[in-house]
Structure 1
């Protein structure tokens, strides 16, 4: 299920797991490859469990849009225990150019959680970057696949 505009993709899925268990996976960069629907993540490079806004974790990536292997720094922009985690991604060593990943969790009883994944590039204003990069780098199917993979972990 999606709710999209020109510069944002949104996917929803009810997962049969409590919000705290899902949040535990989402805030552990070492586990991100397990639910990556983009196919870009290779491994966690540096970073502990996400605990607050302002933290940065680094991932090893691979994709044709960057000519092969590269690293990203992910700057945590949102954090509410068992409810929300968000980060803006940037090529390693640079400031985020404006795209953001937002994971929202809404408990539906004790054993189910509505998970919303938003990929938002509406704040990308660099005209050169917008010429080079065809947004979205991850399509709706990639978001849906991420939620399916996350669900399969439980």
Structure 2
């Protein structure tokens, strides 16, 4: 669903404990496999996310942004088995105002509602707004990410 205030949010129920979902999400090495947009290529040897203030770097590709580039992702929300959120920035820059938020709600010991929000409501820089046509990622792509996450969590050999 696209929010007129600069957000796209999707949600899905998973037949998996929140700790298993969180384990996959908190490892940036998994993010390329999770990406429904096709932009994330690989992490730049990042450590597992363990708290607010960490920065992890991703190798990206998008033709309309000039091809290959890197992003630094500043962790702004972290609650074990419940929340992961980061603000994205061009490599070496401060975040420009958009963020990714993963929320996990354990509905039972083996069932978790996962909500993914792409939020660009805080982007104010006119250069960024002129360069990027928001939303850069759409609901169907976020739903694709949830589908990929479901496959990874259900699979017996996901990357820790």
User: Deviation per CA, 1:101-139, whole angstroms, max 9, x where unpaired?
Assistant: 000000011111000000000000001211111001101
Query: Is the 1:30–1:43 contact (alpha carbons within 8 Å) kept by the matching residues of 2?
Result: yes
Partner of 1:128, secondary structure, is helix
Secondary structure in structure 2 of the residue aligned to 1:104: strand
The alignment status of 1:49 with 2:48, answered yes or no, reads: yes
Counterpart residue number, 2:67: 68
Runs (5+) with no aligned partner, structure 1: none
Q: What SS class does the counterpart of residue 49 from structure 1 fall into?
A: coil
Residue matched to 1:14: 13
Q: Indicate if the aligned counterparts of 2:100 and 2:119 stay in contact, CA closer than 8 A.
A: yes
Aligned pairs, how many? 153
CA deviations over 1:50-74 (Å, ceiling 9, x no partner): 0010000001111113211111000
Equivalence map 1:62-141=2 (5 Å): 62-141=61-140
Runs (4+) off by over 4 Å: none
Structure-2 change in CA distance of 1:145 and 1:29 (3 Å): same
Partner of 2:150: 151
Q: How far apart, in 1, do the equivalents of 2:114 and 2:134 lie? A: 23
Deviates more, 1:4-13 or 1:101-110: 4-13
Tell me, yes or no, if the aligned pair for 1:3 and 1:11 is still in contact at 8 Å.
no
What is the Cα deviation at residue 3 of structure 1? Answer: 6.1
Output the aligned Cα RMSD: 1.0
* TM-score normalised by L of structure 2: 0.93
